[in-house]
């Protein structure tokens, strides 16, 4: 497979909306959360060749609703995660766990996703070469989720005090969080791309 710095080129093959609201809504009846994920799991399994099921990794990253539930009632949140893990762990794929994503992770993953889909991080040319687009072509992302909006963008220069780093596609994504309105729980995630 074509790879740049051991990072494979991927494309989206399926988009599926799980039944019902988010997993945090099953706090009072965690046993039902697995049922809500079953339809999408079956659709995904139908696309993956059966011989590849056991080597296909699967993760579940929970976002704002579960972050809020975890703060409000940690025991209920743990019960929901346990039910998700039981349900997805029974599938034939390599389930690697369900975990709570931080707002920073959620913002960074969204930013990477949109820039990757738009071909702005790295491209594989027809001549077999890797092309890295210019940094100024990167776009920002605004995620207006139900519990924690993330605004992810390229700042004009270095921001002192950034301590979180994520490596992808041969470069480093460095981001930090600034609180805009603590009463609303709004956050701005600042991201910039550093070429190696």
- Tell me how far apart the alpha carbons of residues 97 and 122 are, in angstroms, rounded to a whole number: 29
Is position 147 annotated in a ligand binding site? yes
Active site residue 135: no
Is position 149 annotated in a ligand binding site? yes
Q: Which of these is catalytic: 43, 99, 106, 129?
A: 106
Is position 150 annotated in a ligand binding site? yes
Is position 176 annotated in a ligand binding site? no
Known binding positions for ATP: 146-150
Known binding positions: 146-150
Any idea which residues carry the catalytic annotation?
A: 106
């Amino acid at each position: 497979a074509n790879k740049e710095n051991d990072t494979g080129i991927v494309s989206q093959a399926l988009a599926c909306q799980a039944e019902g609201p988010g997993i945090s809504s099953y706090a009072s009846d965690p046993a039902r959360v697995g049922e809500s994920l079953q339809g999408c799991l079956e659709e995904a399994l139908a696309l993956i060749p059966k011989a590849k099921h056991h080597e296909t990794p699967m993760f579940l990253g929970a976002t704002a609703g579960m972050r809020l539930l975890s703060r409000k009632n940690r025991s209920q949140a743990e019960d929901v995660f346990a039910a998700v893990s039981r349900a997805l762990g029974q599938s034939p794929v390599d389930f690697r766990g369900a975990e709570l994503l931080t707002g920073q992770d959620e913002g960074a993953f969204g930013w990477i996703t949109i820039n990757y889909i738009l071909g702005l991080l790295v491209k594989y040319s027809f001549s077999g070469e890797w092309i890295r687009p210019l940094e100024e072509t990167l776009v920002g992302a605004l995620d207006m989720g139900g519990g924690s909006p993330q605004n992810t963008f390229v700042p004009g220069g270095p921001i002192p005090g950034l301590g979180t780093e994520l490596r992808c596609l041969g470069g480093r994504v460095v981001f930090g969080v600034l609180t805009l309105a603590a009463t609303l729980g709004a956050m701005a995630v600042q991201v910039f791309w550093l070429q190696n």
